[in-house]
Amino acid sequence: MKLDKLAGDRFKEKPSDCVIDSHALMIRGGYMKHMANGIYSQFPPLRRVTAKIENIIREEMDAIGGQEVLFPVTLPASLWEQSGRFQSVGNELVRFKDRNQSNMVLGMTHEEAAVHLVREYGNSYTKYPFMIYQIQTKFRDEARPRAGLIRVREFTMKDAYSFHTSQEDLEAYYEKCYHAYERIFARAGLPEVVVVLSDSGMMGGSISHEYMLLTPVGEDSVVLCGECDYRANMEAAESIVEQDQTLSQAPLELVDTPEKHTIEDVCDYLELPVKNSCKAVVYQRNDDDSYIVLFLRGDLEANETKVKNAVGGKIHTAVITEECGLQAGSIGPYKLEGDYTVLYDNSLKGIANLCCGGNIDGKHYVGLDMQRDLGDVEYGDYAKAVEGGICPCCGKKALRIERGIEIGNIFQLGTKYTKPMNMEYLDKDGNKQVPIMGCYGIGIGRLAASVCEVSHDEYGPIWPITIAPWEVHLCCVRADDEECHAFADKLYGQLMDRRVEVIYDDRSVRAGAMFSDADLLGVPVRVVVSPRNMKEGCVEIVTRDKSVSRKVQLDEAVSAIEELIRELYEDVNARGGVNER
């Protein structure tokens, strides 16, 4: 490929609307162009990167028995009505009517389509297990797209669906996919990805894991233990905190707290530690607006996902009105009257002498004893894990919280989709059974952007050779020099004949501009042919990350380039523990 024919411009200035480096570099480097909010077109460099990621995924999915299929982007709403998600999924799902007034949706995920495809095929136990996968464009009307390809509305995704006749078989295949994902990310240049327990969300199922790339620009919080292998997404991480059992009992007393409506203000006014208080967080159910009141220790944050799972439906932050009976800023568990769902977090269990709302404006109780004053209430885990919290695995106070980007996920779905969509098979005894499913997703563009986010310098991306747009960037400095240009042309032809992927820059531009473009394209091997090098009878070979810089004789250039390419591939695979097939 000649650089002067490459579609897309490269420029020096950082776009003002880019909040993270990968977004800015991909715009500056001519990788993509913004079309609409959360929607981008891809120029050739990015398309070459994503195509290589797709090929790695295909190889690993095929290696564990996957069969590639393709589902439509536009789906009849009737499929989603069968699963129940047409009503339960929010505005992220784009619903519309076609010219015949039939209800349709744009596929944001394809569980229903997968069941529809193999519902008749999977009618006998002899067909199981099997896995199908696709690499397809999807549309999710994300409310807050951000950070370039990290969170978009239109995206390309690999989603796979496995079908099984037993939980044991699903778990065995789930393990295969688990390790296949590790190989995929290692081959893409991200061996440092960590696997965390996660909440299944709208996908459903009992067990799920996310593959997280730890980076400060990540939008998810990841809980890690410094003493053992415990890792979980904040939504799923168990909250265990040390409880102060040394507080002596005190009489329950209602005190004035004028104009104090936050637990921090109240505790400051009463000169009490915030952890010696009980605060209220109020939600409402989406379906009927009924109120949910959660009580937890004052220094902790409510985990909305845990609350949602506990009540079995979607919720939102409450709007407290005069008619609802709740006294905003003074809500407490003692003598709370009203038709509310009341939840108590484990952090309050067995604690005496707490401060809490008095259910009267400007009044709070001190001396609350959970057992004495409330009796045997049921406690649960509804709080977010905290830095320095107790690990649920090893029991040590060693939890830390980091930011991460989710670049893949796997779910054990069970019969969430097969049962309502009436997928059945006959077992060996002739009895009808419902198959169980697993599903496995990777966002292609997000993975490319994530690699760029953790592998770049101030000048541009540093692509691992396995997914780089080209393997070699050939720079002919001083194209007006006849000898120099002739050798560069010859070298370009030789590399092309050897099936080396080359982007060739023989433009009549300054060396600084040429190298600046090369940095933005991030190709791992750069070969410089210049009049100075020609006088020495050599070419200069450097890597984009500056780890290799060498000069080789002209007649050894091709073999030296091929050897370096081979070394770079081996290095990527070795860092990820990937064996060559």
DSSP result, 245-267: TTPPP---EEEE-TT--SHHHHH
Chain mean pLDDT for the chain: 93
Residue for token pair 């809500």: 331
pLDDT for the residue 581: 36
The yes-or-no verdict on residue 528 having pLDDT over 70 is: yes
**Dihedral sign from CA coordinates of 206, 212, 216, 217:** negative
Encoded tokens for 186? 């290692």
pLDDT for the residue 217: 86
Encoded tokens for 13? 């200035």
Encoded tokens for 364? 């709070």
pLDDT for the residue 191: 79
The yes-or-no verdict on residue 451 having pLDDT over 90 is: yes
Edge-to-edge strands, sheet with 291-297: 315-317, 278-285, 291-297, 341-345, 379-380
Mean pLDDT of the region 56-85: 96
Which among 570, 571, 548, 572 has a CA at the least distance from the CA of 560? 548
pLDDT for the residue 360: 93
Determine the Cα–Cα distance for residues 262 and 245; give it in Å rounded to an integer: 25
Phi, psi (rounded to 5 degrees) for 461: -65, 155
Determine the Cα–Cα distance for residues 360 and 368; give it in Å rounded to an integer: 16
Mean pLDDT of the region 379-397: 93
pTM for the whole thing? 0.88
Name the band, by pLDDT with cuts 50, 70 and 90, for residue 245. low
Listed range (154-158, 358-362, 473-477) with the worst mean pLDDT = 358-362
pLDDT digits (tens, 9 = 90+) for 151-202: 999 999 999 999 999 999 999 999 999 999 999 999 999 978 888 887 655 4
Name the band, by pLDDT with cuts 50, 70 and 90, for residue 580. very low
pLDDT digits (tens, 9 = 90+) for 261-278: 889 999 999 999 999 999
pLDDT for the residue 206: 59
pLDDT for the residue 312: 87
Mean pLDDT of the region 505-510: 95
Whether the link from the prior residue into 145 is cis, omega within 30° of 0, is: no
Percentage of the chain beyond pLDDT 90 is 83
The yes-or-no verdict on residue 425 having pLDDT over 50 is: yes
Mean pLDDT of the region 251-268: 91
Helical segments of 146-243, H only:
167-187
Percentage of the chain beyond pLDDT 70 is 97
Name the band, by pLDDT with cuts 50, 70 and 90, for residue 241. confident
> What burial letters (b/e) apply to 492-509, b meaning 16+ CB within 10 Å?
beebeeeebbbbbbbeee
Determine the Cα–Cα distance for residues 184 and 449; give it in Å rounded to an integer: 15
Reduced to 3 states (helix: H, G, I; strand: E, B; else coil), residue 391 is: coil
pLDDT for the residue 202: 44
460: left (phi over 0), alpha (psi -120 to 50) or beta: left
Determine the Cα–Cα distance for residues 566 and 538; give it in Å rounded to an integer: 21
Mean pLDDT of the region 385-413: 92
Residue for token pair 């530690």: 273
Encoded tokens for 291? 């109120």
The yes-or-no verdict on residue 112 having pLDDT over 60 is: yes
pLDDT digits (tens, 9 = 90+) for 311-357: 988 899 999 988 898 999 999 999 999 899 999 999 999 888 899 99
The yes-or-no verdict on residue 204 having pLDDT over 50 is: no
pLDDT for the residue 310: 92
Question: Could you tell me the CA-to-CA distances from 358 to 27, 258, 350, 497 in Å, in that order?
Answer: 55, 12, 20, 82
pLDDT for the residue 30: 97
